[in-house]
Structures are given as structure tokens and as C-alpha cells.
Amino acid sequence: MTFRFLPFLLLALSPPTSGQAITFSFRDFITLPRSRNLHGISGMEYIASRKEWLLAGDRGALHRYSDLDRLSDWACRPDSVAPTGLFLEAIRYDPVADTHYFAVENDRESFVGFRRGGLPRPGEGFERLPLPHPMPDPSTNKGIEALALTDRYLWVAPEAGSQEEARPDRTEIHFYRYRKTDAGLTLDGEFAYEIDRNVCANEALGGISEIIAVPGDETRLLVLERCYQRPTVTVRLYEVTIDEAARRLVKRKDRPAFDFNVPGFRPDNLEGMAWGEDENGRKILYLVSDDNLGKSQWTQIIQLEMQPATP
């Protein structure tokens, strides 16, 4: 069974655009039936050259879909599923280097791995990206969930900061940027970011569940912040500008690029983002939710339409 908004409700979900460089309007969404057997999805990527969607599960499954023309296709088109043996939280693909990057979080550790030619299957090797700081204790479930890929860089964002930063009284955390080189990846710097703490009463650390690059733009990122207070998930999408001199990510906190918590819509646990396009070439941002394998949560696929830039 799927659920959709009536068209007149979609208009109410468009955020203000005055003074905002990047904004989105709500285009459509689908809630997948449980019979679809698509659960625990934490990462999303689209490979345009293959017209292929990747959905990464945090219990080791990788789902592949091809040639999805309509949103309803997510509910009925067949997919191929392969085990990875990794609890995946994010996935990105570099078509130039034919390399998959992925964030992993399990009961023992959180790390970023990468492999040329394809994601590893159980028992296959891959390389790990050295992180400049240790992540919080795995029991906190606050490791790395977010990766963004540009033509020049790979960005890594801890969910709530490094081990030292992940405290309710510390609102400044750091993203890590790696430069692509012929030899691989080299740590290029750490960039300060102001995270929202205490948005939800029972999640004092808050959380960054995904980041994504703005297509063709090395100067900006989109950051998805989310916290969960049963039964409400608070989710906002922010635009940040990269201040190279100060090594900071300047966040448009006063006016999110999109605020999902508006009347008439209840977002679930949004964790994955990927860029697609519609039949007219307009940029569409897709988001997917992680249902946590629970009976009271759902796997949602959401479409946001990127609006023309404003001054």
C-alpha cells in the first residue's frame, strides 16, 4: 500500500525562498509496503551512466534497481540483492575512478572504506580511509553516517562529532575533507560545523544522517540533520558554504534549504540522499528513510525538486 499527498498539499510543503541560494519544493513521496522487503536502508546513490540506484542496508544488504521511470516503480520493480557483510550507513560512487566509498558502523567500530570496481562481498578485501580522530564509543551509535563526493574531494561527516567533540555542551564539530590524487586520497583538512544539539529532548547529541555535494559546485554542501523522539522525527536540510580561509562550513541555520517538519507531513528516519533528474532534466533530490526494521516505522522514498537559485 502506498500513500501520497494530494497536489494542493504539496504546495504547502515548499519552504521560503527569499535570500536563500538553494531551496527545494516537495515534489512527491511513496511509503513502501512491508511486502517490498526493503528494510534498514541507510545509504543511497544513483549511477547515472548505468541508470542504476544503490540502496545500502545497515545489516549488510545492497539493493540495486535499474530504469526506475516513476516513483511507483520503487514498490513494484524487481531489484537484485547482494550481501556485503558490512553494516553500511552511507555509500558514494566515483565514476571516474570506478570506486565505491562507504561508511560502516557496527557494534565494534565505525570507519570509511573504499574499493575499486565494486562493493566487497563477504570475505573480500577493501581499503580503509585513515580518520584524523577516533569516533565515539560504538555503544552510542554515533559513528560516521555521511559521505559526500565532488570532482575533487571526498567529505566525511561524523554523526555527532569525534570522540572528543560528541558532548551536549559542544556545538562545534568537524567534517574531514580528502583530496583525490593519482595515488588515492589525502587528508586535506578539517572544517568546523555548528551542529544542532538538544533538538529532541531524548537525543542531546543530535545527529547528521547524510551530506551531499551540490552538483558541479565545490563551494557548497547540503547537510541533513535529524533527531528521533518517538514517534516524531525532526529533520532539516541545510545549505552550507565552504569557507576555505577559516576552514569553516557556514550554515544557513536561520533558513533551511528544506524543513520536513511542516503540517501535513510526517517524515520517518531519513538517512540517505542521492541526486536524480526528471524527464525534463530538472534536478531532483531523492531521500530514503531507515525503518529500523520496526513495525511502527516505514521505508519512505521522497523527492525534492531543486529550485532556481536566488540572490
Q: Which three cell numbers stand for residue 94?
A: 566515483
- Answer whether residue 12 shows pLDDT above 70: no
Q: Which segment of 62-71, 107-116, 187-196 scores lowest on mean pLDDT? A: 62-71
* Rounded Cα–Cα distance for residues 115 and 255 (Å): 38
The closest alpha carbon to 227, from 204, 210, 249, belongs to 204
Query: What's 308's DSSP letter?
Result: P
**Cβ(120)–Cβ(85) below 8 Å:** yes
pLDDT value, residue 309: 66
Mean pLDDT of the chain: 88
Residue with cell 581499503: 127
* pLDDT tens, position by position, 137-163: 999 999 999 999 999 999 999 999 999
User: Is the confidence at residue 101, as pLDDT, over 60?
Assistant: yes
Q: Which amino acid is at 297?
A: Q
Q: How many Cβ atoms sit within 10 Å of the Cβ of residue 164?
A: 12
What structural domains and CATH numbers belong to the chain?
7-306 (2.115.10)
pLDDT single digits (tens) 112-133: 999 999 899 999 999 999 999 9
What HEC string does 111-151 produce?
EEEEEECCCCCCCCCCEECCCCCCCCCHHHCCCEEEEEECC
pLDDT in tens, 227-247: 877 777 889 999 999 999 999
Contact present, 163 and 171 (Cβ < 8 Å): no
Q: Name residue, grid cell 530514503.
A: 288
What per-residue confidence (pLDDT) applies to 71? 92
- How far apart CA 241 and CA 219 sit, in angstroms, is 6
List, for residues 163-221, the tens digit of each pLDDT value.
Answer: 999 999 999 999 999 999 988 899 999 999 999 987 887 788 989 999 999 999 999 99
Host H or E run for residue 9? helix 7-12
Q: What average pLDDT does range 267-280 have in this prediction?
A: 90
Q: Phi and psi for 125 in degrees, rounded to 5?
A: -80, 160
The one-letter code for the residue type at 291 is D
Please provide residue 73's backbone torsions phi and psi, each rounded to the nearest 5 degrees: -60, -25
